[in-house]
A = this chain, B = another copy of it.
Amino acid sequence: MTLQDARTPENGANGDEKPQIGWHKGYVSGSRPDLRVPVRRVHLTNGKDVTLYDTSGPYTDPNIETDVRRGLAPLRENWIIGRGDTEEYSGRPLRPEDDGLKHTSPRGGLKNLDAVFPGRPRQPRRGREGAAVTQLAYAQRGEITTEMEYVALREKVTPEFVRDEIAAGRAVLPANVNHPEIEPMIIGKNFLVKVNANIGNSAVTSSIEEEVEKMTWATRWGADTVMDLSTGRNIHTTREWVLRNSPVPIGTVPLYQALEKVDGKAEELTWEIYKDTVIEQAEQGVDYMTVHAGVLLRYVPLTARRKTGIVSRGGSIMAAWCLAHHQESFLYTHFEELCEILASYDVTYSLGDGLRPGSIADANDEAQFAELRTLGELNTIAKRHGVQTMIEGPGHVPMHKIKENIDLQQEICEEAPFYTLGPLTTDIAPAYDHITSGIGAAMIAWWGTAMLCYVTPKEHLGLPDRDDVKTGVITYKIAAHAADLAKGHPGAQEWDDALSDARFEFRWEDQFNLALDPDTARAFHDATLPAEPAKTAHFCSMCGPKFCSMKISQSITERFGGDEGSTPEEIEAGMLEKSREFAESGNRVYLPLAN
């Protein structure tokens, strides 16, 4: 592999869209010219380089002009076409209700969607008759796709390892054939822990532009996937804008849109409306879909005596449908048909936990685990159809009940990737649920959860704004990386080591540039010691120049560090000698300040 560098962005020269951070966009090349894996390269002041995983997409490459009205370049298009197993087709006709408009809307029905999203028109694509076009199908046939090679470079493992993990169902590589813009990524417990960020307007607030901006903002700070949970008006158009501009896989909950089409009346939902919505979204390029097929009629009464009932939107909609019809969920009864649809676009299942606990009191109860057992059955069925599958998890769970969740899920679902929301470890801190849940997220990821769905400070209170999205993503990147460390993930500690070296050697700029959030780290430092020389000062504002433990400690290292190969006896001998020198030098442990 070779490492290429994009032109170094000038700090501060790129306006609001290019944050003032000192890292550079680079690429690792693979076996073909169009296989270039983006990395974040931090050039340290000591001449060393640190290469980090990068989710920010072409937006942080100063050599690439991006325009949200045209969308991103279709990176994977030639790979998909080259496989020769998919075909373009005319696609499902668009209808006013796709955008939440009534047939009788005074606005005159459907606007021209090409005008609404002015990007490159493209026919939808699907697997040819009889072709199995999912990454799972390729993996099971022993084929290493370009996508698999891409993620292997990204994760610093062999392509064969990637193929094995996907083939076993232990990992998914969400990549709808209609979303060629994505930079492939993988979700599985033997890879880096991933983070999902939710965006989405609602009936009450938000706009299309805001949602697209939240997506690019979230990925800039490290979101590996984004779920568009929009409801209400313009749902189709919002999704189109998000997909065409997203370098990461996009997930949705098709049930939300289906419910819009029946004016919010759960009992009027039908399999046909739902199926039509799934095809609509698959043609647009949605990479994974949450399907609450495990909410069975007989589980609904199990929630009746809970403290907080059913808190999943999808779960409560399906519960209401089952009650209204006193029939089994159509998602469950039509599951195999749904598998066939998802397989033809390579849409990945995210089997939803519609009965997840919404409070500490409800954690790990009968309703929750009954649904999980059903998700296990559905996982087996999905895999048989070649559909990649992950399993969603809770929710609100106190720390001592977390491990049971991941252990049970791994057992019941044959190690399919677990994808959890937190869990929140207490209910008492609305406005701080990124933290209550970051605690649980770190723990459950350590124990094997593959992807964490972020929680923002606005959880339970309102819709996240730009700052909330950033706070949520950073908090979850911390949880994910803490888990990578605890799992002993190869290479994970290099990042910590580089930052700690910089800290010990007072290389402030390196410390900022290696930080998850360089901007805030720099701003916090400058708040106490704003002057430029302070960034090279060999002390910091916590202790001041006289008390600095790092300085004292450095002089110990200099005096006793010896060579790597020293024996304890040599160190002890050196210690005596150095102690004499120490006295001779005037017993000064504080060296003169550099500035």
Contact = CB atoms under 8 A, between A and B. Distances in A.
Interface of A: 202-205, 231-232, 256, 259, 264-267, 300-301, 303-313, 315-317, 319-320, 323-324, 326, 358-361, 396, 398-400, 425-432, 434-436, 438-439, 442-443, 446, 457-458, 460-463, 465, 474-475, 477-479, 481-483, 485-488, 493, 495-497, 499-501, 503-504, 511-512, 514-517, 520-521, 523-525, 527-529, 540-547, 549-550, 552-557, 559-562, 564, 571-572, 575-576, 578-579, 582-583, 587-590
In order of increasing CB-CB distance, the 4 nearest A-B pairs are A309-B553, A203-B544, A462-B528, A359-B500
Contacts of A265: 587-588
Contacts of A516: 428-429, 432
A280 to B, nearest CB: 19
Contacts of A511: 430, 460
A304 to B, nearest CB: 4
B579 A323 contact: yes
A482 B398 contact: yes
Given A307-B497, A428-B495, A457-B524, 11 more contacts: A202-B547, A205-B528, A264-B546, A305-B561, A305-B564, A310-B549, A316-B549, A320-B555, A324-B582, A400-B486, A436-B482
A300 B556 contact: yes
Given A521-B461, A528-B205, A439 B436 contact: no
A360 B553 CA distance: 17
A246 B399 CA distance: 33
B462 A545 contact: no
Nearest to A267: B587
Contacts of A309: 504, 550, 553-554, 556-557
A462 B524 contact: yes
Contact of A503 (B205, B434, B460, B550): B460
Counting chain B CB atoms within 10 Å of each CB, which of A305, A428, A515, A578 scores highest? A428
Contacts of A572: 301
A265 B589 CA distance: 8
Contacts of A552: 266, 310, 316-317, 319-320
A389 B153 CA distance: 53
Contacts of A202: 541-544, 547
Given A361-B493, A500-B359, A500-B361, A204 B541 contact: yes
B515 A560 contact: no
B431 A461 contact: no
A482 B439 contact: yes
A483 B440 CA distance: 11
A520 B399 contact: no
A300 B575 CA distance: 9
A310 B589 CA distance: 13
